[in-house]
Amino acid sequence: MNRISFLLLILFVLTFSGCTMFTGFYIVNESAQPITVEYKVKYVTPNTTPMLRDIPAKIAASDLDKSPRENWKQLTPDQYQFNQENRTIAVTVMPNEALFITELDGYDGNIKSNTTKYFYIEEINIKGTEGEIKLTGAQTLTAFSGSSGKFTLNYLANN
């Protein structure tokens, strides 16, 4: 009887312990000049001090599809500016460089009714010599495209 109970317990645990896939969101500079990326994060919980949940990281854009996340260079505090009062992060992204800004649990590109509620980014502003991109609200999520756990927003020449 104990053996059957143990097997049922294992079956129960396996049934409810599905694999969770995190989707990363990246801004790629495909222009010939540096760009400034500034994004505003949501409060983790209302009425609390804003905090930086995801530390920005960079990698060569050509390595975006082939490099495991461990190979990314997580930025040190002197490589980005975090304005706690405004909840904004500002980073300079060089040409042909990709910037990791956040991740979302289980996102596959389909916007569901509560998807934007869990997306950590509230605003994105990208400035470069080719123009400016400003995104707010749901646009901050829908502007990204991709699959397989990686969604990118590309800053191109002649945006």
Mean pLDDT of the chain: 81
pLDDT (tens digit per residue) in 60-88: 999 888 766 667 889 999 999 999 889 89
* 152 has a pLDDT exceeding 60: yes
E-strand stretches of 9-74: 22-29, 35-41, 57-60, 73-74
Question: pLDDT value at position 50?
Answer: 57
pLDDT (tens digit per residue) in 89-138: 999 999 999 999 988 877 777 776 556 677 889 999 999 998 999 999 88
Question: pLDDT value at position 14?
Answer: 42
Output the pTM of the full model: 0.79
Cα separation of 104 and 38, whole Å?
A: 19
- In angstroms, the first-to-last Cα distance of the chain is 68
